[in-house]
Amino acid sequence: MAPLTLSVDVKNSSSSTSLDVSKIMQSPQLRKSKGFASVNTQEDKPFDFFRSLFEGFIAGGTAGVVVETALYPIDTVKTRLQAARGGGKIVLKGLYSGLAGNIAGVLPASALFVGVYEPTKQKLLKTFPDHLSAVAHLTAGAIGGLAASLIRVPTEVVKQRMQTGQFTSAPNAVRLIASQEGFKGLYAGYRSFLLRDLPFDAIQFCIYEQICLGYKKAARRELSDPENALIGAFAGALTGAVTTPLDVIKTRLMVQGSAKQYQGIVDCVQTIVREEGAPALLKGIGPRVLWIGIGGSIFFGVLESTKRTLAQRRPKTVKESKEE
């Protein structure tokens, strides 16, 4: 009987082995794991700037209006506490004074903020290394806040003047401020507003996004709406407490009107400390932390829910349809 022989097709075997190794290395389970609070920027789906902008507008506007309507009375109390000089009495009537006019400004401001923040964040996350995702969130938050400030500041000036009883209606407030103080009166305290809001927006959204990323990595799943709301509450309360002195300065400069009690940010700080003591810079911290904590819970809960709903309504691409 002829001896047994073993023949091997070296070419085919090599090709098959190479193909198998390639498939194994592409397996999601064997991809290199990333550090805490890092993101995978190598997505298959192309970045759609305009869709992200549009969905950000809708989600941001919806979340902003819901929060403002629910928590306006707390904000009114906080404003009156901060505006009162010395031992001034706080009036608890008319806590919804100026709500309608404020919503008219909050809607486009919140829409503009998230509309700018979302595509900017996504673009930066694709540009920065994974371990610098926090820098992307900080930068996107600051840019979004800067864009929204063009609407936020006039809205805030009118709202706080009405909350402190200087005007009875938003149209009347705008007309009188413009006639008595000029157009720049609607942007009173603009620099102090940026001093407060740019750090606030950057820090709050960075804390929220980083905790969410870490939570997702630990839980190995997407977060639920209550979990998003809880993280949003923590991020808002913490950031609100830290930025309270900046908020007091901003409020004093905005509500002073044509009286010009303060000549700028530095003079405002010096006058408050000299006349009322350093603790006055923390006036309203209780209502502010409560307001922003609850507000962060509602805002991020509604924001994420709306974003998810809009994402589910996106038209499917040809590739996605074939995969189904």
Is the pLDDT at 157 greater than 70, yes or no? Answer: yes
Instruction: Return the higher-pLDDT residue of 16 and 206.
Output: 206
Give the side-chain half-sphere CA count within 13 A for 153. Answer: 24
Q: Do 223 and 215 touch, CB atoms closer than 8 A?
A: yes
Radius of gyration of the CA atoms of the chain, in A: 26
- Each residue's pLDDT tens digit, 223-250: 998 999 999 999 999 999 999 999 899 8
pLDDT confidence bin for 27, thresholds 50/70/90: very low
Model pTM score = 0.71
pLDDT of residue 319: 52
Given a cut of 90, whether residue 203 has pLDDT beyond it is yes
Q: Which residue has the higher pLDDT, 288 or 316?
A: 288
- 148 Cβ partners below 8 Å, 6+ apart? 109, 110, 112, 113, 116
pLDDT tens profile 270-315: 999 999 999 999 998 988 898 899 999 999 999 999 988 888 887 7
Q: Rounded to the nearest 10 degrees, how much is the dihedral formed by the CA atoms of 31, 36, 41, 43?
A: 50
Q: Pick the residue with more confidence: 46 or 41?
A: 46
- What does the pLDDT average to over 60-87? 83
Mean pLDDT throughout 55-71?
A: 88
Which amino acid, residue 320?
Answer: E
Cβ proximity of 282 and 248 under 8 Å? yes
Share of the chain above pLDDT 70, in %: 81
| Backbone conformation region of residue 229, classed left if phi is above 0, alpha if psi is from -120 to 50, else beta | alpha
Residue 211: pLDDT band (50, 70, 90) is: very high
Q: How confident is the model at residue 8 (pLDDT cuts 50, 70, 90)?
A: very low
Residue 118 tokens, joined: 């979302």
Overall average pLDDT of the 117-129 stretch: 92
